[in-house]
Chains A and B, each alone.
Chain A
Amino acid sequence: MVRVDGKGSGALVEIRSLDKKYRRGGEEIDVLRGLNLDVDAGEFIAFMGPSGSGKTTLLNLIGGLDTPTSGAVRIGGDEISRLSGRKLAAWRSRHIGFIFQMYNLIPVLTAFQNVQLPLLLTNLSKAERRKHVEAALDLVGLSDRMRHYPRQLSGGQEQRVAIARAIVADPTILLCDEPTGDLDRAAGDEILDIISRLSKEYKKTIFLVTHDPIAAKRAGTLLHLDKGTLLECTADGLFACKPEDAGK
């Protein structure tokens, strides 16, 4: 279940009265204003909205990459907005998998080594790490590209490696920031197929930020962000928050 009225309880993700302000020059910009959100485990949420509406900022706050100006972000009972840098880093490594628009692979490491990175923060043995990496690369269909460097892969393949890296440590939540934004439609569809599969088969909780209505349709719930506010929608009202309404 997904709620934006702040009245839910016991959800995997609980966001309450979230404010985020930035200073640019002498000017203070309200990016998020009093935002509430409850998301149960296993949900697949898409955020849409115009540029500058705060989609990526919200994703960064859920992923512990940024801290709120006020309000709370609770994930699995942990108030992550209160964690320090080092604890937050450790928390991210256990609970969050990131998929970025530009893939963010390390160019000097092979696909295998890139995918293995999150496992270096665990206590797994070398053999166990290898098993996990091979399984993750197999899931995204790149078992035969393990020894390839990012420059030897197509954009779609790079993003599949990035997905493998995001899931290899079996995180609770996947955060996808425009994962198809740099890909052509065919490659983008392949990526969305994998993300959908992770939602349906592996019951991952997924947050997807996108400008692409077709991508948004893959999500179970669509939320619209405008001027820092999440709009709860109805079929005939602001937005129905149903994937099929995306792009209307």
Chain B
Amino acid sequence: MAIPLEYNVRSVFIRWPSTLVAVLGIAGTVAVFVVMLAMAQGFQAMLIGGGSRDNAIVLRGGADSEMMSAITLDQVRVIADAPGVARSASGDPLVSAEVVVVGAFPLLATGSDANVQIRGLSPIVLEVRPNARIVEGRFFQPGLTELVVGRNVSGTYAGFKLGSTVEFGGGRWTVVGVFDAGGSSYDSEVWCDAVVLNQVFKRPENIFQSATARLASPESFQAFKDAATSDPRLTVDVFRETAFYAEQSRMVSTIIRVLGFIVAIVMGVGAVFAALNTMYSAVASRSAEIATLKALGFSPASVVASFVAESTVIALAGGAVGVLASLPFNGFTTGTMNWSSFSYLAFAFRVTPEIVASGLVFSLLMGIVGGLPPALRAARLPIIVALREL
């Protein structure tokens, strides 16, 4: 049996000042680590949340974002007739032909302009994207310069209050409703009739940038994709909407994660030194106890295990404090530029159970790295030398 953990836990409390330094060092590191991951997770969840497994997005062949794509009305009709497309109660195919433009509007927080994605869509869009619903006012009427705005828009930009009038693209638009798209990227968008948007912006009338089709079921995707990509009238790429948005979020979330890891590693090195210092002083001040345990017959391996366990206890305490310190950031809303659409997106930090677990595992690693060298020193202490130190 090993040296009882109780020995280590009680020893930790006796040396509380140096233990506290190590705990706080690890806590700070874990808190930053968790917050950075929560930011990346929030951004990714916001973009992916806009997608549905039941939806397929169709872009021009070779285009990897809506900004670079073009789909004609004729092609939209072919897509609407493809197998696997769901139909409304009245028998209409659930396909939304969409146009996106970017408009600069002043942020309420800073007064400086930020890009808002303005999406023109088919009036049937609420059936294509049932996760979006009107929460205030009403939906836009086809043919009119009316806007519905995502729930993040009116609180982020000046001039998008319900009932207000906004000028852009040479037209005057009235905000007639606010929609909630469940925290997804659509909540940072402004929606209007695609045909009207094309007219106001003097774009070719029958050209859109993407078509989103509601499928009869998620399993219908392959049949739909095969039909669309093999049809000679179409030169398109078809993506499942969830996969498309995951890809769209990849760059920004990867940047946030990489930055987070770099910051965490730099802080982690500091925290490991704090743990090392704590554990080396623990070993130095308890060399006679260690020698006694070894004299009683505890093996060097059990001494190593004991001190690594002690370091781990300290690190996990730090990890727990760090996670608790990061929890208030859960739900904290911020915004960033989406480099795929060049528009500003608001999103909320998400501290998920997986991120909490990652933070605790990270603290555990710091504990092991910070505890192992002092533990090895403890195991190598010559018994008779250490016994003389009493």
- Are the chains A and B members of one assembly? yes
* B294 proximity list for chain A (CB < 8 A): 89
Contact of B384 with A66 in the complex, beta carbons under 8 Å: yes
Compute how far the CA of A121 lies from the CA of B302 in the bound complex, rounded to whole angstroms. 11
Contact of B295 with A92 in the complex, beta carbons under 8 Å: yes
A118's contact among B11, B297, B387, by CB below 8 Å, is which?
B297
| A104-B292, A106-B7, A121-B1 known; A93-B297 Cβ under 8 A | yes
B292's contact among A60, A85, A106, by CB below 8 Å, is which?
A106
Compute how far the CA of A60 lies from the CA of B295 in the bound complex, rounded to whole angstroms. 10
Distance in Å: Cβ of A90 to nearest Cβ of chain B: 6
Compute how far the CA of A102 lies from the CA of B292 in the bound complex, rounded to whole angstroms. 11
CB-nearest residue of chain A relative to B291?
A104
Compute how far the CA of A89 lies from the CA of B300 in the bound complex, rounded to whole angstroms. 9
Compute how far the CA of A108 lies from the CA of B288 in the bound complex, rounded to whole angstroms. 13
Distance in Å: Cβ of A56 to nearest Cβ of chain B: 8
Is A65 an interface residue when CB atoms closer than 8 A count as contact? yes
A85's contact among B289, B300, B390, by CB below 8 Å, is which?
B300
Contact of A104 with B7 in the complex, beta carbons under 8 Å: no
Within 8 A of B (CB), among A44-78: 60, 63, 65-66
| A106-B289, A120-B4 known; A86-B10 Cβ under 8 A | no
Is A109 an interface residue when CB atoms closer than 8 A count as contact? yes
CB-nearest residue of chain A relative to B300?
A85
Is A207 an interface residue when CB atoms closer than 8 A count as contact? no
* A92 proximity list for chain B (CB < 8 A): 295-297
Contact of A113 with B292 in the complex, beta carbons under 8 Å: no
Is B298 an interface residue when CB atoms closer than 8 A count as contact? yes
Distance in Å: Cβ of A127 to nearest Cβ of chain B: 15
Is A117 an interface residue when CB atoms closer than 8 A count as contact? yes
CB-nearest residue of chain A relative to B292?
A104
Contact of A93 with B384 in the complex, beta carbons under 8 Å: no
Interface size on A, residues (CB 8 A): 27
Is B162 an interface residue when CB atoms closer than 8 A count as contact? no
B387's contact among A86, A94, A104, A109, by CB below 8 Å, is which?
A104
Contact of A117 with B296 in the complex, beta carbons under 8 Å: yes
Compute how far the CA of A120 lies from the CA of B299 in the bound complex, rounded to whole angstroms. 12
Within 8 A of A (CB), among B161-217: none
| A65-B383, A108-B14, A113-B6 known; A120-B295 Cβ under 8 A | no
* B298 proximity list for chain A (CB < 8 A): 89, 93, 117, 121
Compute how far the CA of A93 lies from the CA of B11 in the bound complex, rounded to whole angstroms. 24
Compute how far the CA of A121 lies from the CA of B3 in the bound complex, rounded to whole angstroms. 9
Among A60, A91, A94, A121, max chain B CB count under 10 A is at A121
Please, what's the 1-or-0 string for B72-106, where 1 marks a CB less than 8 Å from any CB in chain A? Answer: 00000000000000000000000000000000000
Compute how far the CA of A107 lies from the CA of B288 in the bound complex, rounded to whole angstroms. 11
Within 8 A of A (CB), among B266-313: 288-289, 292-301
Contact of A65 with B295 in the complex, beta carbons under 8 Å: yes
Contact of B6 with A109 in the complex, beta carbons under 8 Å: yes
Contact of B299 with A89 in the complex, beta carbons under 8 Å: yes
* B3 proximity list for chain A (CB < 8 A): 120
| A66-B384, A106-B7, A108-B11 known; A117-B293 Cβ under 8 A | yes
Compute how far the CA of A165 lies from the CA of B301 in the bound complex, rounded to whole angstroms. 22
Contact of B288 with A104 in the complex, beta carbons under 8 Å: yes
CB-nearest residue of chain B relative to A104?
B292
Within 8 A of B (CB), among A81-102: 85-86, 89-94, 98, 100-102
* B301 proximity list for chain A (CB < 8 A): 86
Query: Can you sample 6 A-B contacts with CB below 8 Å?
Result: A92-B297, A94-B297, A102-B390, A104-B295, A106-B7, A120-B1
- For the complex with contacts A107-B289, A109-B7, 18 further pairs of A-B residues with Cβ separation under 8 Å are A63-B295, A65-B384, A66-B383, A85-B300, A86-B299, A90-B297, A90-B299, A91-B297, A93-B296, A100-B390, A102-B390, A106-B292, A109-B6, A109-B10, A113-B4, A113-B6, A117-B298, A118-B297
> What 4 A-B pairs are tightest by C-beta distance, nearest first?
A93-B297, A108-B10, A120-B1, A104-B292
